[in-house]
Structure 1
Amino acid sequence: MKIISNDKWTWYQLDINEINKITEVIKKYQYPEYEGFLRKIEKKNSSHIQVNVIDGDREIIYGSLMYHKHSFKQKDYNSFHFYITNEFIMTVNLDLSLLEETNHKQMIERMQSLSSPGESFFVLLGEIMKKHLKGFNQFEEDFRELLWEVRQDNNVNVLDKVHKSRYKLLVWTNLVISVKEVLLGIEEAFHEKITERIEYKRILKKTEVSLMLTEQYRKEFDTLIKLEEVVSSHRGNEIMKSLTLLTAISTPLTAFGALWGMNFKNMPELEWKYGYLYVIILIIISTVGIYFYLRMKGWTGDLLKGKKKNSFFK
């Protein structure tokens, strides 16, 4: 167990296997709410918030927060548990080394300089949000490259990348919403004691920016997927039109081939001296005639034109 404190509050950092010490700390400050907290600790990879008030003026907020995702291929979140009162902060299973961009010494010094545990906890949440925002920056770079791939080489592999990126966005959104939920829980517990503090305003702004980004990217993905659906529908229609056109044009060849492929005994055409030539000419004339008839009606459309590179439809 690690203990960080100033003259107004204390931060206890514990491992998940130190259940006895968790209970001792909570009982030391005479808070009865620990059994529910212990039950929540047993649940991994979950976020939850519980707010209680004891004797009218002793606020408690406890819960869990998912704060790190190792891979987008597996369900391998890192989460930690917290218990916050007016006298102390307790964190269980928090691995500060996962906050790679954070200067841990400066973060702890900032926390110690603040007068309340709730405001100090906002410093920690701010570092977690900084990590998430860095992830958004990388996500944005990948998304911009994906937009050009869709424009230049629109195929099923690119469509698969689009949906994988959309899944990543859902994961980032889930992580940000978890922080927002904790923020609202602390606000509910401590009200004006905390909402006018500078650290609250900082973390509030970070979460608002993150949620704004997730909403904007969600709209862009919706537009991109709708574009894919329009292009796919258009290409499907073009394929069906092409098959119909080819079938219509090849009808004379098929019909006459079937006719003279029969084995009836009395077929006068078999005695014609120039029957073979007549049949070839008849097939060519009827095929060309059907083609020009379809062209005159405008039913061939753009099917017989070459496709342009880097074009969705042409």
Structure 2
Amino acid sequence: MRRHNLNDGSWQWIEMDFGDRTAMEKQLVDYSVDKVWLEQANQMDVNNLQMDTTYKGKEVLWGSLIYDHNLSDSDSEKIFHFCLTRNFLLTDYLKFEVFHSINTSNTMTKMNHTHTPIEGFMVIINIILNNYLQKIDVFEKRINDLLWRLEKKNNEAVLEQIMNCRHQLIVLKGLILPLKEIELGVPEAFGEETKNGTIFYKMQQRIDRAYTLVSEYSIEIGNMAELESVKADVRGNEIMKTLTIVTVLFTPLMAWSALWGMNFTHMPELDYKYGYLFAGLLITVNTIAIYLFLLNKGWMGDLLNSAKKSKKKKSNSTY
């Protein structure tokens, strides 16, 4: 167990093993904390927040919070457990060294400048938010690169990257929502006065910024997925249209070939001197006739352009 006496001893931050239920109950003997949570706190692997406000001055907020997560690994979450009162902050041992890109060496200095455990808890939340904001910053370049790759060429690899990006944003949003819950839960447990001060304001603004960025990037990724789907549908329609036209144009050849490929004994065409030439001309004429029919209907080119032209012809004919 580590005790940090902060702000000239005005409050304590206690780090301890949450698997030691006896020690935890000793620290929380004057507070109404859920017994089930005390038994299972060290086994919690999901975000959780509870509170008790029965007795004034003895309000308590407790729970578990994921403070770091590799977005590509479902089993990489790092979680800490906490119990917050007006007199002390109780947590398990935090490992801020996992934040390689964030300077956490001055964490104790920041904590020592706070006046209450509530403010100290907000300092920890702000550090977690900085970690998540740095993860979010990576998405700006990823989304921009994906957008231009989608413009040049859409294929299964691009779609897979879009889906991967979308999945990671959903995971990030799920990590930020519990912080939003804490933002709402702290004033609910300890009163509106906890909203006063720069530390709560910074936490609130960072939560809003992180949530807004994730939401907007999610919308942008959703639009890209929709765009990719539209392009795939158009391409598929073009392929089907081409295959249909080829099939229709070769229908005379297949039909007449099937007819004259029969092995009946009495087939008058077999004795024609110019039967081969006649058959070739007949197939050619039929094919050209079908081609002209399709061309006249506007089914040989771009369907969208053909539709516009037909509309234009109709509008001109009305004047």
Fold-level match, TM-score > 0.5?
yes
CA contact (8 A) 1:26 1:34 kept: no
Q: Counterpart in 2 of 1:108?
A: 108
Q: How far apart are the structure 1 equivalents of 2:181 and 2:38?
A: 20
Q: Counterpart in 1 of 2:256?
A: 256
- Counterpart AA for 1:160: E
Please state how far the C-alpha of 1:8 moved relative to its aligned partner: 1.0
- Counterpart AA for 2:4: I
Please state how far the C-alpha of 1:42 moved relative to its aligned partner: 4.5
Structure 2 unmatched runs, 5+: 304-319
CA contact (8 A) 2:32 2:52 kept: no
Q: How does 1:60-79 map to 2 (within 5 A)?
A: 60-79=60-79
Please state how far the C-alpha of 1:43 moved relative to its aligned partner: 4.1
| Counterpart pick for 1:13 among 15, 19, 30 | 15
Please state how far the C-alpha of 1:3 moved relative to its aligned partner: 1.6
Q: Counterpart in 1 of 2:140?
A: 140
CA contact (8 A) 2:60 2:189 kept: yes
Please state how far the C-alpha of 1:45 moved relative to its aligned partner: 2.0
Q: How far apart are the structure 1 equivalents of 2:97 and 2:22?
A: 25
- Counterpart AA for 2:251: T
What is the RMSD of the two structures over their aligned residues, measured on CA atoms?
1.8
Please state how far the C-alpha of 1:292 moved relative to its aligned partner: 1.9
Q: How far apart are the structure 1 equivalents of 2:301 and 2:44?
A: 59
Q: How far apart are the structure 2 equivalents of 1:44 and 1:95?
A: 17
232-241 or 176-185, larger mean C-alpha shift: 232-241
Please state how far the C-alpha of 1:109 moved relative to its aligned partner: 1.1
Please state how far the C-alpha of 1:16 moved relative to its aligned partner: 3.8
Q: Counterpart in 2 of 1:184?
A: 184
CA deviation string 1:11-61 (max 9, x = no partner): 11123433332222223xx22425243145144321111121242232110
89-98 or 158-167, larger mean C-alpha shift: 89-98
The percent of aligned pairs where both chains have the same amino acid is 32
Q: How far apart are the structure 2 equivalents of 1:85 and 1:171?
A: 30
Q: Counterpart in 1 of 2:156?
A: 156
Q: How far apart are the structure 2 equivalents of 1:202 and 1:252?
A: 76
CA contact (8 A) 1:81 1:94 kept: no
Normalising by structure 2, we get a TM-score of: 0.89
CA deviation string 1:52-91 (max 9, x = no partner): 1242232110011111112424233111110010111011
Please state how far the C-alpha of 1:152 moved relative to its aligned partner: 1.0
Q: Counterpart in 2 of 1:239?
A: 239
User: Alignment partner of 2:19: what SS?
Assistant: coil
Q: How far apart are the structure 2 equivalents of 1:189 and 1:92?
A: 21
Q: How far apart are the structure 2 equivalents of 1:153 and 1:93?
A: 49
Please state how far the C-alpha of 1:93 moved relative to its aligned partner: 4.5
Q: How far apart are the structure 1 equivalents of 2:175 and 2:98?
A: 15
User: Alignment partner of 2:106: what SS?
Assistant: helix
Q: How far apart are the structure 2 equivalents of 1:234 and 1:256?
A: 34
Normalising by structure 1, we get a TM-score of: 0.90
- Counterpart AA for 1:25: Q
Q: How does 1:148-297 map to 2 (within 5 A)?
A: 148-297=148-297
CA contact (8 A) 1:79 1:93 kept: no
181-190 or 132-141, larger mean C-alpha shift: 181-190
Q: Counterpart in 2 of 1:23?
A: 25
233-242 or 149-158, larger mean C-alpha shift: 233-242
165-174 or 279-288, larger mean C-alpha shift: 279-288
CA contact (8 A) 2:87 2:117 kept: yes
Q: Counterpart in 2 of 1:94?
A: 94
Please state how far the C-alpha of 1:243 moved relative to its aligned partner: 2.2
Please state how far the C-alpha of 1:105 moved relative to its aligned partner: 3.4
Q: How far apart are the structure 2 equivalents of 1:34 and 1:41?
A: 10
- Counterpart AA for 1:24: K
Q: How far apart are the structure 1 equivalents of 2:36 and 2:85?
A: 15
CA contact (8 A) 1:99 1:127 kept: no
Structure 1 unmatched runs, 5+: 304-314
53-62 or 159-168, larger mean C-alpha shift: 53-62
Q: How far apart are the structure 2 equivalents of 1:16 and 1:76?
A: 20
CA contact (8 A) 1:83 1:90 kept: yes
